[in-house]
Every structure is written in structure tokens, then in C-alpha cells.
């Protein structure tokens, strides 16, 4: 069976960029599980589901058909056939996603879908619970971190019309929600190696992960 690299960490730690770079270098597939939670959230918002009501979210969580493409050079995500790659990065979805991701029925459905995509392996999988829940047997588990300020700086450099301060506040709120929820909170998995990326370039982090994979 093929290699599985599990990549977890908080928002802005570099998971997506590092995972894509590693997948590209090793000829592996790439799965962004956060995009799946965002896609579920986009659908719930479109359907007008009350996101303050976990039971309402749970009741509808089986409906959307979510399909993730796994080419690291062309990651894409579709919901009921609609390409939602753009809208899932907008503030409305970003502000709502932690509430949807906290619902156990949502997690059960998406984890099952993620395991289907992982299949026999040959993939880099990034998210919050990959090393702990989705792929606990992955031979390589990385936990990426960076200072709150560095993560906010990176995010605000990507998004137009936002400040570092506003990003730092939004990230802190999401970190708290993600690490205190009852079902599979963000935490470091058994056997994971922590990499603090604050003082390193993207290429340096990718090189370090490639070195760990080859060990
Ligand atoms: P995550 O998926 O963890 O939210 P991303 O991969 O989206 O993080 O990274 C956020 C931004 O930070 C990207 O624009 C990326 O290029 C940049 N970035 C990632 N890692 C580093 C690093 N080590 N040094 C500087 N910038 C980085
Ligand atoms: O890109 P960013 O790091 O900002 O977030 P993301 O990876 O797109 O994930 C968005 C949200 O989905 C997170 O804040 C979590 O609430 C949730 N998520 C999760 O619960 N479990 C995962 N495996 C991935 C994401």
C-alpha cells in the first residue's frame, strides 16, 4: 500500500502550501479536508439551515454530494456538481465553518468520505484530526505550528481588504472553537512530529518534511 502523510495544525500554519509541495515532490495525491468542511458549510448556508442549531445541521448533513479532486497542482471541490473553490474561502463560510465542523454527524460523514479518498494511500492529507482520527496508522505525522502573529500575517497577505489585527482575532476565535469542541478537537496526535514554521520559509519547511518522510 502507498504512503500516507498526515498533516495537522491550526489555521495559517502552512498545511495547504506544505502539503501540496510535499505531494508534488513525491508524486503523491493531496487531500484538503478543511475544504470538505467548508463545502458542507457553504451548502448549509445556501439551504438556509440554522447554524445555531446542531440538530438541524445533523439532520441535513447526509444530503450534499461533496467531491474533492486530489491533484496537488489542481485541487478542486464540488458540491452537488457546483465548483465551490472560490466561495468556500470567503468570510461568510470561514466564520461559520467551526460550528458546522463541531457537529458529530458532520464529522462522521466527512471522515468516512476522507477514508474512501485515502483508500490504499499514496497521499498527503491535511486537516485537524488526520493523525488522530482519519489516518491514525499513517507512518508520517506532522503537526505544523507558527506564532499567532505569523499565521495572521500570512493570512492577511493572502486576503485583500483585511488587517493583520483582524486576522489574528478571527484565527484566535477559530483556534479556540477547533481545540475545545467535544468531538475530535484539534490536538497533536500520538507519534506526531511538531514543526514550528515561524522562522522558516515555505521551501525550508517542505525540505524538512521530505527529510522526515525519507527517514
Ligand atoms: P493552512 O493551510 O495551515 O491554513 P496555508 O498553507 O494556507 O496554511 O498557508 C498560509 C499562507 O502562508 C500561504 O500564503 C503560504 O504561502 C504562507 N506560508 C506557509 N508556510 C510558510 C512559511 N513557512 N513561511 C512563510 N509563509 C508561509
Ligand atoms: O485553511 P484554514 O487552516 O484556515 O482552515 P481549513 O483547513 O480550511 O479548515 C476550516 C475549518 O474546518 C477548521 O477551522 C475546522 O473547524 C474544520 N476542520 C476540521 O474540523 N477538521 C479537519 N480535518 C479539517 C478542518
127 lines ligand 2 (CB under 6 A): yes
Segment among 66-70, 108-112, 128-132, 176-180 with least mean pLDDT: 176-180
Q: What is the 3-class SS of 54-82, one letter each residue?
A: HHHHHHHCCCCCEEEECCCCCCEEEECCE
158 lines ligand 1 (CB under 6 A): yes
161 C-beta neighbours (distance < 10 Å), count = 7
pTM equals 0.97
Place of cell 442549531: 53
pLDDT band at 17 (very low <50, low <70, confident <90, very high): very high
pLDDT band at 161 (very low <50, low <70, confident <90, very high): confident
What residue spans define the domains of the chain?
4-214
Flag whether pLDDT at 50 surpasses 80: yes
- Mode of pairing for the β-strands spanning 66-69 and 76-79: antiparallel
**Which one-letter DSSP state was computed for residue 87?**
G
Q: At what angle do helices 15-26 and 202-214 cross, to 10 degrees?
A: 50
Would you tell me which CATH number, out of the four given (1.25.40.10, 3.20.20.150, 3.40.50.300, 1.10.10.10), belongs to the domain 4-214? 3.40.50.300
Flag whether pLDDT at 126 surpasses 90: yes
Supply the ipTM of this predicted assembly. 0.96
Grid cell, residue 27, equals 508524486
d(CA 158, CA 151): 11
Looking at the CA of residue 11, tell me the nearest atom of ligand 2.
3
Flag whether pLDDT at 116 surpasses 90: yes
pLDDT at position 1: 65
Amino acid at each position: 500500500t502507498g504512503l500516507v502523510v498526515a498533516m495537522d495544525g491550526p489555521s495559517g500554519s502552512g498545511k495547504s502550501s506544505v502539503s501540496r509541495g510535499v505531494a508534488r515532490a513525491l508524486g503523491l495525491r493531496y487531500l484538503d479536508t478543511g475544504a470538505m468542511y467548508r463545502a458542507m458549510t457553504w451548502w448549509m448556508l445556501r439551504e438556509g439551515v440554522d447554524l445555531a442549531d446542531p440538530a438541524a445541521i445533523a439532520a441535513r448533513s447526509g444530503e450534499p454530494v461533496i467531491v474533492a479532486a486530489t491533484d496537488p497542482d489542481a485541487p478542486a471541490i464540488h458540491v452537488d456538481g457546483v465548483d465551490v473553490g472560490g466561495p468556500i474561502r470567503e468570510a461568510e463560510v470561514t466564520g461559520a465553518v467551526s460550528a458546522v465542523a463541531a457537529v458529530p454527524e458532520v464529522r462522521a460523514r466527512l471522515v468516512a468520505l476522507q477514508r474512501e479518498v485515502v483508500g490504499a494511500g499514496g497521499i498527503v492529507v491535511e486537516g485537524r484530526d488526520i493523525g488522530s482520527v482519519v489516518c491514525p496508522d499513517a507512518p508520517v505525522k506532522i503537526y505544523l505550528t507558527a506564532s499567532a502573529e505569523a499565521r495572521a500575517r500570512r493570512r492577511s497577505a493572502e486576503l485583500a481588504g483585511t488587517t493583520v489585527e483582524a486576522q489574528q482575532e478571527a484565527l484566535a476565535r477559530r483556534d479556540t472553537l477547533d481545540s475545545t469542541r467535544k468531538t475530535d478537537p484539534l490536538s497533536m496526535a500520538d507519534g506526531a512530529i511538531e514543526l514550528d514554521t515561524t522562522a522558516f520559509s515555505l521551501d525550508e519547511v517542505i525540505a524538512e518534511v521530505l527529510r522526515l518522510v525519507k527517514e
